[in-house]
Amino acid sequence: MMIKINIQDRIRTHQISAAALVSILLIILFFLSFLIGRYPVSPYHVIVALISKIFFMESGLPATVNTIIFDIRLPRIMAAMMVGGSLSLAGACFQGLFQNPLVSPDKLGVSAGAGFGAAIAILFSASVFMIQFSAFFWGLTAVGLTYFLGRVFKGTSILTLVLCGITIASLFSALLSLIKYVADPYGQLQTIVFWLMGSLAAVNNQDLFIMGIPIIIGSIILLMIRWRINVISMGEEEAQTLGVNTKRLQGIIILCCTIITASAVSICGIIGWIGLVIPHVGRMIVGPDHKVLLPVSIILGAFFLLLIDNVARTITTTEIPLGILTAIIGAPFFLYLLRKSKEVWA
Amino acid sequence: MSYLLEMVDGTFSYNKQEKVFEKISFKLKKGDVLCILGANGAGKTTLLKCLNGLIHLDSGKVMLKGIDIQGLKPSTIAKSMGYIPQIHNSTFPFTVLDVVLMGRAPHIDTFSSPSTRDSKIAKKSLKDLKIYHMKDKAYTEISGGEQQLVFIARVLAQEPDVLILDEPTSHLDFGNQIRTMNIVDQLAKKGLSIIMSSHFPDHAFLSAKKVALMKGKSFIDIGPPEEVINEDNMKEVYDINVKIIDIGHRKACIALK
C-alpha cells in the first residue's frame, strides 16, 4: 500500500518538477531575449528598466535604451510568447476534441481563410490594420463555413467536420493562388508571399493589444473547461452518456480555438507546426490529462516560439521567416517524437 | 412510480421508412436485470441507445423514474443512467483513475474539475471492483478484461440507478465473461436496475431476472429466463437447435450440432 502511494507521489512530483523546470527556462529565456539584437543592451539595463516599469518609477536610463526595450523588443518577445503559447494550447484542445493526435489548430480551415483574407487585402493595397482585419475575418469565415457544412450534412461524426475542413481549406488555398496569379509580381506578390511565411518583425504595442484581448479571453475559457476536454476525447457518444452536452462543448472549443488562431495568424502570418508538435512534447512530459497538459502546452509553446524567433533575429543579417524555421525544426523533431513515443499515443 | 425505466410503444427508424423496431414496451423495477437476446442486426444496440437518449424514438417514449427523457438534459439523464458501449476507441493513454473519474462528469459543473470527494468516489469504485492497484496504469495498456472492469468502475462512479450494458461480454475470455455476469448479479442485488444485450442465452440463466427475445422489429417473448429460453424460441431467434438442461442449481442452454 505504502509503495503504491509513493509511486503516485513520484508521478506527481515528476510532473510538477518538469512543469517548474520549463517555467524557469521560459523566464530565463525571456530575459535573455532582451539582449539579442543589433543595438547592445546590457543585462543591468534590462533589469533596471523592467523593475522601474513595474513600480512606475523613472529608470534614469538613456531614452534610446528605453525605446529599444519597451517599444521594439518587449512587444516582439510578448508576441512570440503569446502566439506560441496560444497556438499550442489550441492544438492540444483540437487534438483532444478530434481524438486524434495528428490534428493542428488550422484543421478546420482557419489558416487558409486568413491567408486568403490577407492576400486579398494586400491586392487592394489596404492598410496594415485592414490586412490584419481581413485575415481575421476570413479565418473565422472559413471555419464558420466548415461548421455550417458539417451541420448541413448531419455530421454526427467528428470526421465529417474534419473532411469539410479539408475541403474548405483547399477551396481557400485555390482562391489564394488565384490572387497570387493576378497580383503584381514585383510588389504585391512579394508582400503576399512574405506575409504567408510568417514574421514577428513588424509587431508593435498596438498589435499586441488588439491581438492579445481575444487570445487571452479564448485561452481562459479553454483552460476553464480543460477537464471536460478529457471526457470529450473519449469519443462524442461516450461523452454524451457521461452527461456532457457534446454539441455545445464542441462549439465552445471550436470557437475559442478559431478566435485564438485567427488572431495570431492575422498579426504574424502563418506559423505552422507549433500547434501540432508542442502538445506532443507536453504529453511526453506530463501525460495526456488535459487538466495538466493545457497549461504545460502554453508554457512550452511560448518557450519554443520565443527561442525560434530569437534564432530568426540573429542567425543572419536579414531575418529568416518564422514559418520556415518552425517547419525546418518542427518536421525532424516530429519524426523523432514519432519514433520515441509510439506507445504514448498509439 | 415504482418503475425506474419504462419504454412505452417505442418505435425507431434511421431513415423514417424502414423501422428498426416497432411498438416495443417494457418496464424495469429496482434490482431487475433484463437481458435482450437477438441475432446480429436485430436492433439491440439501437434499442439501448434510444433508452439512453443518444438517439431519439420516432414515436413512443422512454420514461426514467416516471419522467419522459425527451425533455431532460444529458447531465440529468447521466446522473440516473449509466451506459457501457460495446466498442470503445481509445486515443490517449489516460490513467485508469483518470478514466474512472470521468464517470463523475454529470455531477461536475462545465467549468470545474473533479473535487477531492469525486476522487474519493472514483477510488472507492476501483476498490469495489478490486482493481485499485492498477489506478496509475494507462488504461490502453491493460488487458481487455481489465479494461471492462475499468469501464464498470467508471459507470459506478457515476452513481446511477439504471445501468445499460451493450454486450458486456463480447470481447472477453470465458472466465471474464462469467466474472462479469457475477458482477452484474451483485450490482442488481445492491439495487441497481440493469438492462443488457447479449449473444449468450446461457448468460441469461446466470444473472437475468427477465429475458426479452428480439426478432422482426419487436420482442417475440419476454419473461423469466426459465420460461423464455426454450428450444422452440431459440430455434426461432437463432435458427439453430439447442437443448435446455437442468444442471441442478440452474438451467443451461447448450447448442446441438
Mean pLDDT computed over B48-55: 93
Tell me the average pLDDT of chain A. 89
Q: What is the DSSP string of B36-78?
A: EEE-TTSSHHHHHHHHTTSS--SEEEEEETTEEGGGS-HHHHH
B133: closest chain A residue by CA:
A4
Backbone angles phi, psi at B36, to 5 degrees: -100, 120
Residue B85 at interface with chain A, using a CB cutoff of 8 Å: yes
pLDDT, tens digit, 9 for 90 and up, residues A106-127: 889 999 999 999 999 999 999 9
pLDDT at A156 > cutoff 80: no
State the ipTM, two decimals: 0.91
Q: What is the band of A155 on the pLDDT scale with cuts at 50, 70, 90? A: low
SS3 content of chain B, % helix, strand, coil (to 5): 40, 30, 35
**Which residues touch A174 (CB under 8 Å, ≥6 apart)?**
none
From the number of C-beta atoms within 10 Å of its C-beta (0-12, 13-18, 19+), residue A232 rates as buried
Average pLDDT, integer, range B135-144: 92
Q: Please indicate if any CB of chain A lies within 8 Å of the CB of B72.
A: no
Asked if the C-beta of A234 comes within 8 angstroms of chain B's C-beta atoms, the answer is yes
Which residues are bridge partners to B24 per DSSP?
B10
Q: What is the mean pLDDT of residues B24-34?
A: 93
Q: What is the pLDDT of residue A176?
A: 96
3-state class (DSSP) for residue B146: helix
Rounded mean pLDDT of B42-70?
A: 93
Confidence of residue B122 (pLDDT cuts 50, 70, 90): very high
Task: For cell 437463432, name the residue.
Answer: B238
Residue of B nearest to A11 (CA): B136
Calculate mean pLDDT across residues A284-308: 94
- A241/B contact by beta carbon, under 8 A: yes
Q: What is the percent of chain B with per-residue pLDDT over 70, rounded to a whole number?
A: 99
Q: CA-CA distance, B236 to B231, in Å (whole number)?
A: 9
What is the H or E stretch that residue B202 is in? helix B201-207
Q: Band of the pLDDT at A12, cuts 50, 70, 90?
A: low
pLDDT at A100: 86
CA distance A346 to chain B (A): 7
Residue A273 or residue A8, greater confidence = A273
- pLDDT tens, A241-286? 999 999 999 999 999 999 999 999 998 899 989 999 999 999 988 9
Q: How many whole angstroms from its chain centre is CA B1?
A: 22
Give the A window 7-66 contacts with B, CB below 8 Å: 7-8, 11
Confidence of residue A3 (pLDDT cuts 50, 70, 90): very low
A21 within a domain of the structure (yes/no): yes
Q: Could you tell me if residue A53 is inside a domain?
A: yes
Q: What percent of chain A has a predicted confidence (pLDDT) above 90? A: 59
Q: How confident is the model at residue A4 (pLDDT cuts 50, 70, 90)?
A: very low
Residues facing B221 on adjacent strands:
B213
Q: How many domains does chain A have?
A: 1
Planar angle of CA A247, A248, A254, nearest 5 degrees: 90
Q: Kindly indicate the confidence band of residue A103, based on its pLDDT and cuts at 50, 70 and 90.
A: confident
- Which residue in this structure is represented by grid cell 435482450? B36
CA distance A14 to B233: 60
Residue A131 vs residues A117, A269, B174: alpha-carbon distances, Å: 7, 11, 66
| CA separation, residue B88 to residues A78, A235, A260, B140 (Å) | 42, 8, 32, 11
Total domain count for chain B?
Answer: 1
Rg for chain A, CA atoms, rounded? 21
Out of A4, A231, A346, the one facing B133 most closely (by C-beta) is: A4
Q: Using CB atoms, which residue from A228, A231, A346 is nearest to B140?
A: A346
Which 8-state DSSP code applies to residue B221? E
Give the structural domain span for A234.
2-104+198-340
Place of cell 503504491: A4
* Bridge partners (DSSP) listed for residue B84: B165
Residue A332, domain member (yes or no) = yes
Place of cell 512530459: A285
Cα A76 from Cα A207, distance rounded (Å): 10
Which of A93, A232, A236, A241 would you mutate first to test chain B, the one with the most B CBs within 10 A? A241
Q: How far is A222 from chain B (nearest CA, A)?
A: 9
Q: Compare all CA atoms of chain B with the CA of A228 and give the residue at the minimum distance.
A: B110
Q: What is the pLDDT of residue A158?
A: 79
In angstroms, the Cα distances linking B53 to A324, B178, B205 are: 49, 29, 29
Cβ of A344 under 8 Å from any chain B Cβ?
yes
Q: Is there a contact between B160 and B153 (Cβ–Cβ < 8 Å)?
A: no
Exposure on the CB side of residue A4, measured as CA atoms within 13 A: 8
- For the domain that residue A326 is a member of, what is the CATH number? 1.10.3470.10
Average pLDDT over residues A192-220: 92
Rounded CA separation A233/A239 (Å): 8
What is the C-alpha separation between A329 and A309, in angstroms, rounded?
12
- Band of the pLDDT at B88, cuts 50, 70, 90? confident
CA distance A118 to A265: 10
pLDDT category, A10, cuts 50, 70, 90?
Answer: low
Among candidate residues B60, B254, B53, the one with its CA nearest the CA of residue B162: B53
Minimal CA–CA distance to A91: which of A324, A332, A280, A337? A280
Burial of A312 (0-12, 13-18, 19+ CB in 10 A): buried
Residue of B92, B165, B195 to mutate when probing chain A, most A C-beta within 10 A: B92
- What crossing angle do the helices spanning A43-54 and A2-35 adopt, rounded to 10°? 100
Pick from A248, A204, A196, A205: nearest CA to A225: A248
Residue type, A76: R
- How far apart CA A324 and CA A313 sit, in angstroms, is 13
Q: Judge: B77–A243 Cβ closer than 8 Å, yes or no.
A: yes
> Bigger pLDDT: A228 or A329?
A228
* Geometric angle at alpha carbon B66, from B65 and B72, rounded to 5°: 80
Rg of chain B over Cα atoms, rounded to whole angstroms, equals: 18
Kindly report the nearest CA distance between residue A224 and chain B, in angstroms.
5
Farthest CA pair distance, chain A = 73
Residue with cell 538613456: A62
The CATH number assigned to the domain holding B151 equals: 3.40.50.300
Burial status of residue A303 (CB atoms within 10 A of its CB: 0-12, 13-18, 19 or more): buried
Task: Identify the closest residue of chain A to B163 by CA–CA distance.
Answer: A241
**For residue A341, what pLDDT band results from cuts at 50, 70 and 90?**
low
Q: Do B106 and A100 touch (CB under 8 A)?
A: no
Q: How confident is the model at residue B87 (pLDDT cuts 50, 70, 90)?
A: confident
Give the residue numbers spanning the domain of B34: 3-255
A287 touches chain B (CB under 8 A): yes
pLDDT in the model for residue A5: 45
Q: What global pTM score does this model have?
A: 0.91
A193 falls within a domain? no
A167 has pLDDT over 70: yes
- The SS3 of residue A108 is coil
pLDDT at A183 over 90: yes
Q: Is A266 part of a structural domain of the chain?
A: yes
- Give the pLDDT score at A225: 96
pLDDT digits (tens, 9 = 90+) for A259-270: 999 999 998 899
CA neighbor of A284 nearest in space, from A340, A233, A228, A241 = A340
Phi, psi of B87 (to 5 degrees): -120, 135
